[in-house]
Copies of this chain bind each other. A is one copy, B any other.
Amino acid sequence: MSNRPSQPLRGFNSQTPKNAFDLSEASLLGDEPSYIDYFYDQPGSMPGTLKIEVDAPPPVIVLIDYSDTKATKVEIEAPEDCEPYLDTESVSWVDVKGLGSEDILKRLGHVFNLHPLVLEDIVNVPQRPKVEEYEDQLLIVARMVTLQANGQSFISEQVSFILGQHYLLTVQEEPDHDSFGPVRERIRCNKGTIRKQKSDYLTYALLDSIIDGFFPVLEAYGERIEELEDEVVSNPTRQTLEKIHGIKRELLTLRRSIWPQRDAINMLIRDGSDLISHDVQIYLRDCYDHTVQVLDMVETYRELASSLMDVYLSSVSNRMNEIMKTLTVISAIFIPLTFVAGIYGMNFNTEISPWNMPELNWYLGYPACLTLMLLITVSLCAFFWRRGWFENISTVKSTVKDD
């Protein structure tokens, strides 16, 4: 039995790939939440134990070997087929997608001479983003979000980088989605300087595209918050509440993804590494700036969501005020009137004494009674009018009309 949480991330619907987050509002109701529950070993298990999930897709390995003058793309069957490329001067980018075969992953670990803990971090996802330096390798664990084509859902998966002298090994969870397409295109078409650079620049380029992938997702959250800002004042319902809480929860998750990523990139810049040249460090500084921008926006959105919860509560109280005002105005006006009517509905025997309800026998008794009622109504209305209760009621009505 694998003790990996069986559904770590909320699925969008049955056709949606695993790990997909859904940004549409509907998905916020009744679905299971979207925590990233980190992978954990069975307590006491050996370090380096690999846990292959049953439904993990089998690995697809693509090797792109390029130098300034040429670029080759090879689909690799067996991990050992990479070996001839690794020690050449040209940059070899081995991109593994899918974690579904323990055998292949172990052989991969053998080919790239990976420390058992590195292999564990790559395979037992999700891990916390981090950078770790090994003898002649650098391990970078990152989290990639990819906005789906429909703009309504995004996929979150782990990407691990193993940077060596002349190669870069990237391992992704899913074969179908990544944000590396434009980088492949730049290699293929020799756009920009990427073919003239080493594997460290490639690492930067991929990391940068991962970070840039957060922005469209954040923008989608920004739009949802804007919508909620309208909704929370004009028409706060129970669903609004769930949506606000849902956004807070998802932003917590996003923050948990991006925060360690920032620390990791900062560590790369600050501590340096023989594997990363000075030039690429300048580019990483740029990438670091973007990570900070993402964090900035996440924090801003979180504070806005918290403020929205207050606005919601106030708004609900406000509505209650209006409801109570309506009730009070109506009750306060009609209850005294009903009392007056009740008085003259009493059956005291008017024939026994002139003190018993003589009004009933007045010539203008009924009109006088109605006039009294009118006076009561007018003075109560004036009382409420001066306290400004009618204004708000009409305001509310017109606001609703305007919407």
Binding site for B on A (CB under 8 A): 3, 5, 32-33, 35, 37-38, 40-48, 115, 117, 120-121, 127-128, 130, 132, 179-183, 185-186, 191-192, 194, 205, 208-210, 212-213, 215-216, 218-219, 222, 226, 229, 233, 235, 237-238, 241-242, 245, 248-249, 252-253, 256, 282-283, 285-286, 289-290, 292-293, 296-297, 300, 303-304, 307-321, 323-328, 330-332, 334-339, 341-350, 352-353, 355-357, 359-367, 369, 386-389, 392, 395-397, 399-401
A253 to B: closest C-beta gap in Å? 8
Interface of A is mostly: helix
Which residues on B sit within 8 Å (CB–CB) of A115? 282
Given contacts A33-B226, A252-B304, A366-B346, contact A335 B335 (CB under 8 A): yes
Partner of A349, one of B338, B348, B365: B365
Given contacts A366-B357, A387-B397, contact A310 B309 (CB under 8 A): yes
| Cβ contact within 8 Å between B311 and A314 | no
Which residues on B sit within 8 Å (CB–CB) of A41? 208, 212
| Cβ contact within 8 Å between B319 and A320 | no
Which residues on B sit within 8 Å (CB–CB) of A330? 328, 331-332, 335-336
Docked complex Cα distance between A7 and B310 (Å): 27
Docked complex Cα distance between A174 and B186 (Å): 33
| Cβ contact within 8 Å between A316 and B321 | yes
Which residues on B sit within 8 Å (CB–CB) of A252? 300, 303-304
Docked complex Cα distance between A400 and B399 (Å): 24
| Cβ contact within 8 Å between B348 and A360 | yes
| Cβ contact within 8 Å between B364 and A44 | no
A214 closest partner in B (C-beta): B40
Count chain B CB atoms within 10 A of each CB in A309, A343, A367, A387 and give the residue with the most: A343
A362 to B: closest C-beta gap in Å? 7
22 A-B residue pairs with Cβ-Cβ distance under 8 Å, sorted by A, are A42-B212, A43-B209, A43-B210, A43-B212, A44-B209, A45-B182, A47-B208, A117-B282, A128-B293, A233-B238, A241-B311, A241-B314, A241-B315, A316-B317, A328-B330, A334-B338, A341-B345, A344-B348, A349-B361, A352-B362, A355-B367, A386-B401
A3 closest partner in B (C-beta): B216
Docked complex Cα distance between A285 and B133 (Å): 11
| Cβ contact within 8 Å between A44 and B182 | yes
A29 closest partner in B (C-beta): B233
| Cβ contact within 8 Å between A249 and B307 | yes
A286 to B: closest C-beta gap in Å? 5
| Cβ contact within 8 Å between A46 and B5 | no
Docked complex Cα distance between A283 and B233 (Å): 47
| Cβ contact within 8 Å between A366 and B362 | no
| Cβ contact within 8 Å between A44 and B180 | yes
A86 to B: closest C-beta gap in Å? 23
| Cβ contact within 8 Å between A297 and B179 | no
| Cβ contact within 8 Å between B321 and A35 | no
Known: A43-B210, A44-B185, A338-B339. 15 other contacts (CB 8 A): A37-B219, A43-B182, A44-B186, A46-B182, A241-B318, A242-B311, A252-B300, A252-B304, A256-B296, A310-B313, A320-B321, A327-B328, A327-B332, A334-B335, A386-B400
A41 closest partner in B (C-beta): B212
Docked complex Cα distance between A130 and B339 (Å): 73
A215 closest partner in B (C-beta): B40
Which residues on B sit within 8 Å (CB–CB) of A296? 38, 128, 256
